[in-house]
Structures are given as structure tokens and as C-alpha cells.
């Protein structure tokens, strides 16, 4: 099996799901890594350490920023020159888009967001969640090459082998740009929810701390938002101690407490961290759909009937404004922070 794996990165920093895709590729045989961008020597070195056997490097100023059309054209040319049986992408924003375009360019189909793979003859059968994970579908594509995107954190990340190296072949950048990138507004120092090992999420309940004294001069809505911000600040502190990210329920986002980028759920981010804390989140189906595949779920809620307790391994029925600071302190003590 001749497998190409797209190594998704931002400014030379690979997304972890790229290495998981390499792991999947290795289970099928030889892996050729596709590295597109500009000034990517360090990334190619890392890719070999994660198990890539050879690299096709399109290193060109025109590829410095990800742009769908030129990246897709680069890929199309590589396929025309070398062919392949299998094309793997991590299911990232770029990976999903490129895979979709590659299916059109290479006259085949795309199987999106695989969480499991099985071989059947020379075809792969992919298991993918649909209806936000309420249902699993087994799908396949009879056309070649087979294009599959792999959900992050659904497959193991290979252990890097320091010093491992391999051949790098330069390939030309594609043409056909339709966009220009003006710049980035980057969320600074924030751990991406989809990559996080630990997520501490809050719901509407975060605005209900009775012991807070809001500053004077705020109207009712501003007071509520101010209260919620204090509540989310508390979650941020615990997430900081655990090296995790802060998420939110749709109710908290719709109430204007936190930005949409933090929303976990069917119409937000789908996450699967090792540990998920649901604080003041009742557990609507909408929310459960986005976090049910977390390895360990902990629910803290004052309502013992809240549906979140049905999916949680550990639960605390109580006042989260007392429990969370105490829990943060307990983690600090145990983790030596």
C-alpha cells in the first residue's frame, strides 16, 4: 500500500492529529509525508521522527499561508506524477477542506472523520460518527485513491524516535490561487479545545455565585455577565493547574458569557479529552453529543437529577463555587504546583 499522509501544520508547528494520521498510515505500510509551506526544515525533521518514511516537500513562498486552492493544486500535481493508493488527512479545518477538494480533483470520494478503520481486500472500511456521534456509520469508497480524514485523538500518536531521518524530495507548488491572506488574529496562549488533554467546561450556572459583590453601575444583564466572568475565571485557574482548556455549554455562550469559540456540543466543538469537567452543566443532548467520547467525565452540579450524571464517572452534588476552588487547591498540592 502506497500511502500519502498530509502533515497539517500552522507556521511549521504540526497539529498532533497529523502524527496520529502517520500512525494509521504505518499500520498500512510505507508512509510518504506531504509537507506544504515555506521554511519547513524543522517540521520535516520532526515528521521523520514520528515515523514518516519519506517526505514530499513543497516549500515555496506562495505556500507560506494555507490557501485551499493552491494547496489542492499542489496535491493534484503530486498525484498526477506519482499516484497513490491511499491519501490520509487529519480531520482539521485544513485537512477536511483539502480532502474534500482532492476527492473532486482526483475523481474519487472522501470518507470524513474516521474513528476506526478495517481492511477488506484492498479497500478500507471506515467507521465514522454521524448525527453528532449518536449513530456510527460504516462506509467505504470503491474508487481509488481512497481518501480518508481521521478524527483527532481517535488513534494513537506514535512515540517519536529522535534522530530518525529519511529522504526529502522537493515538489513544485501548485497554481490557481483565488485568495490572498492578509494576516491572522491569533488567540494567544490558548490551548485548542480539540487538542486538549483536559477540558474544564462551565454552563449557565457559572453566573449564580451569591457571594460575589458586583461593581456598582452595571445593569442586570451586565451584572450577570460580570458574575459569569468571575465564574469562568475560576474554571480557567483550575484548567491552568491541569494544563487544560476551558469550554462552555451552548447556554453559557448564548447568554453572552463567553465567546462561541469555547462552545462544546453539537453546534460547537466536538472534543474527546482524557478528562472532562462539566461544571454547572445540566447535560442537554446537544452538549453530550460534543463531549461523550471523553475518557473520564466528572460532573459538578447542584441538581442531583441533572442528566450529566448519567454519563459521568464521578459526580459531586453541591455548590461549584465552593468545590472548584477547593479542587484547584487539592490539585495544586498533589501536582506540586
Partner 1 sequence: MKLVACVKTTPDTTATVKVENGKATWGDAPLVINPWDEYAVEAALQLKEANGGTVTAISVGGEDARIALKHALAMGADDALLISDPALAAVDPQAVARILTAAIQKLGGVDLAFFGRQAIDDDSGTTPAQTARLLGWAALTLVSVIKVDGGSLRVERAIEEGRQIVTAKLPAVISLVKDIGEPRYPSFIGIRKASKAEIPTWSLSQVGIPVPSAVVEQLALMDAPVREVVCELVTGGNPQEIAEHLADKILGEKLL
135-164: which residues touch partner 1 (CB under 8 A)?
135-143
Helix (H, G, I), strand (E, B) or coil at 154: coil
The number of residues that bind partner 1 (CB under 8 A) is 97
Under the criterion CB under 8 A, does residue 175 sit at the interface with partner 1? no
Q: To the nearest 10°, the Cα dihedral for 16, 20, 21, 23? A: 140
Minimum separation from the CB atom of position 97 to partner 1 (A): 5
Q: At 116, give phi and psi (nearest 5°).
A: -155, 150
Using CB under 8 A, which of 75, 228, 271, 327 touches partner 1? 327
Phi-psi bin for 251: left (phi > 0), alpha (psi -120 to 50), beta? alpha
Under the criterion CB under 8 A, does residue 43 sit at the interface with partner 1? no
Which three three-digit cell numbers place residue 106?
482526483
Under the criterion CB under 8 A, does residue 24 sit at the interface with partner 1? no
CA 63 to chain centre: 23
Using CB under 8 A, which of 18, 46, 74, 92 touches partner 1? 92
Residues 265-304 that bind partner 1 (CB under 8 A): 266-268, 274-275, 284-286, 289, 292, 295-299
Helix (H, G, I), strand (E, B) or coil at 93: helix
Minimum separation from the CB atom of position 172 to partner 1 (A): 20
The alpha carbon dihedral of 255, 258, 261, 266 has a sign of negative
Q: Which stretch binds partner 1 (CB under 8 A): 47-55, 104-112, 154-162, 210-218?
A: 104-112
Nearer to partner 1, 8 or 53 (CB): 8
Under the criterion CB under 8 A, does residue 181 sit at the interface with partner 1? yes
299 strand-pairing partners: 278, 315
> Residue 233 contacts by C-beta under 8 Å, 6 or more apart in sequence?
none
Q: Which stretch binds partner 1 (CB under 8 A): 56-64, 153-161, 228-236, 256-264?
A: 256-264
Minimum separation from the CB atom of position 171 to partner 1 (A): 20
Under the criterion CB under 8 A, does residue 260 sit at the interface with partner 1? yes
Under the criterion CB under 8 A, does residue 319 sit at the interface with partner 1? yes
Which three three-digit cell numbers place residue 206?
457559572
Using CB under 8 A, which of 182, 211, 216, 220 touches partner 1? 182
Residue among 28, 27, 5 at smallest CA distance from 15: 5
Under the criterion CB under 8 A, does residue 315 sit at the interface with partner 1? yes
Q: 3-state SS string over 291-330?
A: HCCCCEEEEEECCCCCHHHHCCCEEEECCHHHHHHHHHHH
Under the criterion CB under 8 A, does residue 195 sit at the interface with partner 1? yes
50/163 Cα distance (integer angstroms): 10
Minimum separation from the CB atom of position 217 to partner 1 (A): 27
For residues 296-314, one letter each, b for 16 or more C-beta atoms within 10 angstroms of the residue's C-beta and e for the rest, the string is: ebbbbbeeeebbbbebbee
Under the criterion CB under 8 A, does residue 1 sit at the interface with partner 1? no
The interface mask with partner 1, positions 107-136, x = CB under 8 A, is -xxxxxx-----------x--xxxxxxxxx
Under the criterion CB under 8 A, does residue 313 sit at the interface with partner 1? yes
Minimum separation from the CB atom of position 138 to partner 1 (A): 4
Minimum separation from the CB atom of position 69 to partner 1 (A): 7
Contact yes or no for 275/294 (Cβ under 8 A): yes
Amino acid at each position: 500500500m502506497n500511502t500519502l499522509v498530509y502533515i497539517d501544520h500552522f507556521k511549521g508547528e504540526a497539529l498532533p492529529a497529523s502524527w496520529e494520521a502517520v500512525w494509521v498510515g504505518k499500520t498500512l505500510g510505507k508512509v510518504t509525508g506531504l509537507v506544504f509551506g515555506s521554511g519547513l526544515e524543522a517540521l520535516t525533521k520532526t515528521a521523520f521522527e514520528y515515523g514518516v518514511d519519506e517526505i514530499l516537500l513543497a516549500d515555496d513562498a506562495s505556500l507560506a499561508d494555507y490557501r485551499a486552492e493552491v494547496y489542492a493544486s499542489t496535491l493534484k500535481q503530486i498525484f498526477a506524477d506519482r499516484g497513490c493508493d491511499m491519501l490520509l488527512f487529519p480531520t482539521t479545518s485544513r485537512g477536511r477542506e483539502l480532502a474534500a477538494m482532492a476527492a473532486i480533483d482526483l475523481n474519487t470520494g472522501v470518507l470524513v472523520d474516521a474513528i476506526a478503520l478495517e481492511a477488506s481486500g484492498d479497500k478500507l472500511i471506515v467507521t465514522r460518527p454521524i448525527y453528532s456521534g449518536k449513530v456510527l456509520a460504516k462506509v467505504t469508497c470503491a474508487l481509488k485513491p481512497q481518501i480518508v480524514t481521521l478524527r483527532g485523538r481517535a488513534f494513537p500518536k506514535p512515540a517519536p524516535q529522535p534522530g530518525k531521518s529519511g529522504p526529502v524530495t522537493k515538489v513544485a507548488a501548485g497554481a490557481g490561487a483565488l485568495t490572498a491572506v492578509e494576516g491572522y488574529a491569533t488567540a494567544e496562549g490558548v490551548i485548542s479545545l480539540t487538542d486538549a488533554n483536559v477540558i474544564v467546561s462551565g454552563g449557565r450556572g457559572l453566573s449564580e455565585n451569591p457571594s460575589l459583590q458586583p461593581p456598582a453601575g452595571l445593569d442586570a444583564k451586565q451584572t450577570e455577565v460580570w458574575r459569569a466572568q468571575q465564574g469562568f475565571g475560576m474554571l480557567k485557574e483550575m484548567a491552568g493547574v491541569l494544563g487544560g482548556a476551558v469550554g462552555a455549554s451552548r447556554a453559557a455562550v448564548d447568554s453572552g458569557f463567553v465567546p462561541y469559540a469555547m462552545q462544546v456540543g453539537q453546534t460547537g466543538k466536538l472534543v474527546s479529552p482524557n478528562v472532562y469537567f462539566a461544571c454547572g452543566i445540566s447535560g442537554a443532548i446537544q452538549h453530550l453529543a460534543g463531549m461523550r467520547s471523553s475518557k473520564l467525565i466528572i460532573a459538578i452540579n447542584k441538581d442531583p437529577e441533572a442528566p450529566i450524571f448519567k454519563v459521568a464517572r464521578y459526580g459531586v452534588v453541591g455548590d461549584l463555587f465552593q468545590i472548584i476552588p477547593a479542587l484547584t487547591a487539592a490539585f495544586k498540592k498533589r501536582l506540586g504546583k
